[in-house]
Structure 1
Amino acid sequence: MDNYFDKEFELRFFEMNRLGEASAISILTLLQETAAEHCYYAGHDLLSLMSENLGWVLLAGVMEMKRYPLYKEKIIIRTWISKYHSIRGFRENIIYDENYNIIGRARGLWVFYDIKKRRPKKIHHDFIEKWSSYEKISLEHNISNKIEPLNSFEYKKEFKVNMYDTDTNKHVNNLRYLQWLMESIPDEILENYYLYFIDGRFISEAHYSDSILSLTKRDVEENSFLHTIKIKESDVVCATGKSVWKKIEK
Structure 2
Amino acid sequence: MKYTEEHTIEYGECDENQHLKLTSMMDLLMQVSEHQLDEHNIGTNDLLDQGLGWVVTQYHMQITRLPKPAEKVILTTTASGYNRFLSYRDFSIEDKAGNALVSVHSQWVLFNLKERKLVPSDEKIMEKIDAPKLKKMPRFPRIRPLESYEQKKQYSVAYYDLDTNHHLTNSHYFNWLIDVLGREFMSKHRICEIDLKFDQEFQYGEEPYSCVSYDRVDQTTLTHHALMDETGSKRAVCEMKWQNK
- TM-score w.r.t. the length of structure 2 is 0.90
Alpha-carbon distance in 1 for matches of 2:166, 2:92: 30
Aligned to 2:2: 4
CA distance, structure 2, for counterparts of residue 153 and residue 124 of structure 1: 40
The answer to whether the aligner puts 1:238 opposite 2:229 as a matched pair is no
The aligned residue for residue 171 of structure 1 is: 167
| Equivalent residue runs for 1:211-250 within 5 Å | 211-219=207-215, 221=217, 222-232=220-230, 234-248=231-245
How big is each residue's C-alpha offset from its partner over 1:148-171, in whole Å with a ceiling of 9 and x where there is no partner?
222111111112211111112221
Task: Rate the CA distance shift 1:58–1:223 in 2: closer, same or farther, 3 A.
Answer: same
Residues 48-74 of structure 1 show CA distances to partners (whole Å, capped at 9, x for unaligned) of 211221111000002121111121211
Identical residues among aligned pairs (%): 24
Counterpart pick for 1:117 among 115, 118, 139: 115
Contact 1:177 1:239 in 2 (8 A): no
Q: 2:191 aligned with 1:191, yes or no?
A: no
CA deviation string 1:90-117 (max 9, x = no partner): 1112211122121110110011111111
Unmatched 5+ residue regions in structure 1?
136-140
Aligned to 1:138: none
Residue 244 of structure 1 aligns with an amino acid whose one-letter code is K
Partner residue, 2:147: 151
CA distance in 1, matches of 2:108, 2:36: 14
Q: CA RMSD in A?
A: 1.9
User: Which whole-Å CA distance do the structure 2 matches of 1:39 and 1:217 have between them?
Assistant: 38
Shift of 1:146: 4.1
Name the CA distance, whole Å, in 1 between partners of 2:91 and 2:155: 32
Distance 1:206 1:237 in 2: 11
Aligned pairs for 1:47-62 within 5 A: 47-62=45-60
Moved over 6 A (4+): none
Corresponding pairs, count: 239
Q: How does 1:70-89 map to 2 (within 5 A)?
A: 70-89=68-87
Deviation at 1:134, TM superposition (A): 6.2
TM-score by length of 1: 0.89
Q: Distance in 2 between matches of 1:75 and 1:63?
A: 17
